[in-house]
Amino acid sequence: AELNLQEIHDILVEVAHEAGRMIISANPQDIEQGEKINSVDIVTECDKAVETLVSTRLRSKFPSYAFIGEETYRPGQQLTDTPTFIVDPIDGTTNFVHGFPEACISLGFAAGRVPTVGVVYNPYLDKLYTAIRGKGAYLTHGAACGLEGGKGRVSKLPLVEKAPPLGRLDSCLVAVEWGSSREDQNYEIKTEVFKKLCAGKGSGGAMVHSLRSMGSAALNICAVAAGQLDMYWEGGCWAWDVCAGWCILAEAGGIMASGNPGGWEPEIDSRKYLAVRGAPSGQKELVKEMWEVMGDRKMD
Ligand code: IPD
């Protein structure tokens, strides 16, 4: 049967607002103990409650589609060609726990393993990023606050009408994340690359304008889609952190390459990503320059 992408989009938007209200009114100190890898890999009662809400709603409405969610994922669960909801109930849990207002619900939908609908909602700032494949990407600001009679102020992404050409790395604002694994080989590579990005010189190094870490992969990607960041590089996050944002990025003219050197067409679940904003030129050159900074080291 043909997929009704508009219907899927509309329901995801509805669920995102409902989840947003839950997040805003939850107690972020209800932290779950155990399970996760270390003391910085946090999960709260609210992450679980939001995932239950979302999966119940989506499974009852679309019983034949698959569902992958951060809190119910078990190793071995595979993303297939089946239409699949890929959901992070709270992306930016650490921010949520600390009250730092950059957390969101990330609702992705993939068909044939391609990000096809994306809805990312930051309830603190009432910012809703949305896209349907082939239909453009949008930011709706202030709908829950009642702006524009409750419809919110809608802007097409990227936010500037004509995205400027991309320069070399040394003119870029770049997002990176520390992630929650703090002692493995990937962590070594990341911190080395951060250093090279901040103060490197010439080939294999750069001095970027600065680095940013929003604390949420989805919101980093949305900021790249909006054109507020030039690039976002990460190894270690998961399909549910990126699926929704990826659709939004692609519809805003951005590209997603692999976070490891050489991969132009990364899989959604490859866990290594490099997002570059929309631009009339310079996207591929920037990806190559970033890979050069990494040298021949690859993240697992
Ligand atoms: C995390 C955030 C963070 C990224 C981590 C993710 P969570 O997601 O997206 O920015 O660096 O890799 O796990 O745990 O807050 O859903």
Please say if 91 is a catalytic residue: yes
Atom of ligand 1 nearest to the CA of 178: 11
pLDDT tens-digit readout, 257-286: 999 999 999 999 999 999 999 999 999 999
Q: Binding site residues, as ranges? A: 70, 88, 90-91, 241
Residues with a CB atom less than 6 Å from ligand 1: 70, 88, 90-93, 177, 179-180, 215-217, 234, 236-237, 241
Catalytic annotation present for 88: yes
- Could you please report the per-residue DSSP string of 155-201? EESSSSSSPPPP--GGG-EEEE---S--SSHHHHHHHHHHHHHHH--
Two tokens, residue 34: 């155990």
Listing DSSP states for 31-85 in one string gives BPPSSSSSTTS--BHHHHHHHHHHHHHHHHH-TTSEEEETTT--TT----SS-EE
> Annotated catalytic, 241?
yes
Catalytic residue among 93, 94, 116, 130: 93
Q: What tokens were used for 28?
A: 């972020």
Ligand 1, atom 16, residue with closest C-alpha: 91
Q: Contact 123/141 with Cβ under 8 angstroms?
A: no
Residue nearest to atom 2 of ligand 1 (CA): 216
- CA-nearest of 80, 75, 90, 81 to 37 is 75
Annotated catalytic residue 90: yes
The CATH code that applies to domain 169-294 is 3.40.190.80
User: How confident is the model at residue 34, as a pLDDT?
Assistant: 62
Q: Is 51 a catalytic residue?
A: no
Q: What is the ipTM of this complex?
A: 0.95
Atom of ligand 1 nearest to the CA of 70: 16
Domain definitions of the chain by residue range: 5-156, 169-294
Residue 93 annotated among the catalytic residues of the structure: yes
The closest residue, in CA terms, to atom 12 on ligand 1 is: 237
Q: Which residues are annotated as a binding site for Mg(2+)?
A: 70, 88, 90-91, 241
Question: Which residue in 68, 90, 132, 248 is the catalytic one?
Answer: 90
Q: Which atom of ligand 1 is nearest to the CA of 179?
A: 11
Tell me the C-alpha distance between 186 and 29, whole Å.
30
Name which residue sits closest to atom 3 of ligand 1, judged by CA: 216
Catalytic-labelled residue, pool 47, 51, 71, 88? 88
Report, as ranges of residue numbers, the positions in the chain whose pLDDT lies below 50: none
pLDDT reported for residue 203: 66
Beta pairing, strands 104-111 & 153-156:
unpaired
Catalytic residue among 8, 42, 68, 70: 70
Query: 5-156, what's its fold?
Result: Fructose-1,6-Bisphosphatase; Chain A, domain 1 (3.30.540)
CA of 263 to the centre of ligand 1 (A): 22
Nearest-CA residue for ligand 1 atom 10 is 216
Quick one: which of 248, 238, 244 has its CA closest to 108?
Answer: 244
CA of 131 to the centre of ligand 1 (A): 21
- Measured in Å, residue 203 CA sits from the centre of ligand 1 at 31
